[in-house]
Structure 1
């Protein structure tokens, strides 16, 4: 490399300079000066970074950039882009709910529509990453995590059906707003161990209609959106509420929302019970299919998120622990990344690898993520993505 001026500093690549899943800030050269990678290229895995370091790869930058890099180098424990996207969407939803009862703010519909479109945009890149990241989110309050989780599951299921983005949009906005009629008590009830008060029970019983009316007051006219919110607690056998309607009188959107809502409620722990594992939630739903919930739509959801959902912690017969990262054509043989050794000690995250078949990696059982937080550190490269939402400032 002979055309660099004395003002530029040659620096060897380190794992602090290059982040898997992010665009390069510089041109990368070999030790002999040949261009290896251009600025803006996205490196997909840590193993590629290791190879660059081993080859003595370098880049050139100004003294000012060296100083800035030292000040802004990323914390190795910072979340992966997919987790940052989830956090951004949660913030957007929180801000939308904050103006729900402000009569003079006309932006509520636009805010909800934007979140739904952003979900679609992120799932265009990696649906499994979005399902897994919201599944692993343990920190967000339930009144935000629950509707976002529902919306992402609806997006995954409707994609599986082959529906186009415009056809998927009404159920996404319905999922995001299905519980706006009980926002005032939702978090309180989620953490409450004692029986519901009479007032709380009334609010819950009426929240589908209350939510519908709130949407109308904000100018929502989309029939599928309104119907799904009003009917999401109805059941095909007539056992639901508020109107006790059944069968063909229920919209397809409402029937799918009933399933995703049920699933999400089961796998998120409450004050009076522990979280139910993914496989056990599916088992409970399979037992209800054809009676209170639609059997075909239960099967659709299972096909969309797998027997071992992205984000699930699994234990192999070898004793090693992995995290499910990607579905395959065989729903019980997902792609995983190993995150612990056979003794249960956290290890550096491994390369994505298949299970089942001739791989020698056989899944034995599942673990609860909340009870194994020590294994979930350093997951920033588990789903390499490059997405503007992760850098969106509220």
Structure 2
């Protein structure tokens, strides 16, 4: 039997997917990687009985690397986050491996989005109730990828945009959770930190030896606005790179659907309406339009109630060939199905009645809804 290690308190968090398979002391699988812990009782049970097999993650030996595994965004979610955290820490500590790490991470994100687009978009909606700063940054990169392709940005610039989205908020990481948890008006010092973070992120990148001019320009501009009211330089119109506007819109959308101490999260329908008003004064009109086209009325990962009163998770966006596809997980009386049932929402019994806005997401392995197998 392989060597297993007890799970330390604090290693697992309610509402977050398991970063690895969990075994009992005899090596039997208790829960698969990607399962979302929902209750304190489950958590205590895992700390008491659970074991895991540590994985050694080697740094890429080349400037870029190829990972040929099938992409399962849910199973890889924890690894993406830990790799992101390690990459940002490397940059801030001026580690010589910083550029290699960033390129490797960017390629991981790109390939995941390319190979599992609906599931990758679902991460943003399933885990956006109360995300950490690293989760938010990962969401920015995922959304920026998709918006860029919908907008028609060339592939080389899209790759650079991914790296920019992953690092644009580098200088905010130490204080972001504190800012999000505050339910009072920001102090002058806090506003200064926010307004200076684009330039501070650029300086941290340069200090780590990352000097691509376009990459740094995207980061520096990602809070500029088309009407000239942004920061730090007050740029306007075509002086702002489209990549910078794409990151800004990704951040704005994530902020809309995220719960903060001072406000509730916005539902998808209201967020779409607000995005539709952002053309010309804040962004190039084609960029908000690209996001709206990308999301559709019911993006992957949102919960909806059907006309037969079932509740399910949207797994595929509507297309010309089919309607929005929903995997029903709760029956009409609120009973949890032991499995899931695919519903084509073009059919009269399964038409979508409304969005569901849960305080917490259901505890389950979301991989199964998209047909991934461990």
TM-score above 0.5: yes
* Matching residue of 2:204: 214
* Matching residue of 1:360: 349
1:130-145 correspondence to structure 2 within 5 Å: 130-137=120-127, 141-145=131-135
Q: Residues 294, 161 of structure 1: CA spacing in aligned structure 2 closer, same or farther, 3 A cutoff?
A: closer
Q: Does the alignment pair 1:385 with 2:372?
A: yes
* Matching residue of 2:39: none
* Matching residue of 1:37: none
Greater shift, 71-80 or 358-367, is seen at 71-80
Residue 161 of structure 1, CA deviation? 4.2
**How far, CA to CA, are the matches of 1:284 and 1:197 in structure 2?**
27
Greater shift, 125-134 or 154-163, is seen at 154-163
Q: Residues 384, 159 of structure 1: CA spacing in aligned structure 2 closer, same or farther, 3 A cutoff?
A: farther
> In 1, are the aligned partners of 2:128 and 2:254 still within 8 Å (CA)?
no
**How far, CA to CA, are the matches of 1:385 and 1:115 in structure 2?**
22
**How far, CA to CA, are the matches of 1:159 and 1:331 in structure 2?**
21
Q: Does the alignment pair 1:315 with 2:271?
A: no
The secondary structure found in structure 2 opposite 1:88 is: helix
Q: Does the alignment pair 1:91 with 2:79?
A: no
* Matching residue of 1:175: 165
**How far, CA to CA, are the matches of 2:131 and 2:287 in structure 1?**
28
* Matching residue of 1:241: 231
Q: What TM-score do you get using the length of structure 2 for normalisation? A: 0.78
**How far, CA to CA, are the matches of 1:164 and 1:69 in structure 2?**
51
Q: Residues 233, 77 of structure 1: CA spacing in aligned structure 2 closer, same or farther, 3 A cutoff?
A: closer
**How far, CA to CA, are the matches of 2:230 and 2:132 in structure 1?**
22
**How far, CA to CA, are the matches of 1:352 and 1:227 in structure 2?**
45
The secondary structure found in structure 2 opposite 1:303 is: helix
Aligned length: 317
The secondary structure found in structure 1 opposite 2:276 is: helix
Q: Does the alignment pair 1:230 with 2:220?
A: yes
1:334-353 correspondence to structure 2 within 5 Å: 334-353=324-343
1:233-312 correspondence to structure 2 within 5 Å: 233-312=223-302
Q: Does the alignment pair 1:155 with 2:111?
A: no
Residue 351 of structure 1, CA deviation? 3.7
* Matching residue of 2:64: none
> In 2, are the aligned partners of 1:206 and 1:242 still within 8 Å (CA)?
yes
* Matching residue of 1:35: none
Residue 300 of structure 1, CA deviation? 0.6
**How far, CA to CA, are the matches of 1:215 and 1:227 in structure 2?**
11
| Two-structure CA RMSD over aligned residues (Å) | 2.7
After superposition, the C-alpha distances for 1:310-347 in whole angstroms (9 at most, x for unaligned) are: 10001112211110101132599421100111122222
Residue 144 of structure 1, CA deviation? 0.2
* Matching residue of 2:28: 72
> In 2, are the aligned partners of 1:82 and 1:385 still within 8 Å (CA)?
no
Structure 2 residues not aligned, in runs of 5+: 1-23, 37-71
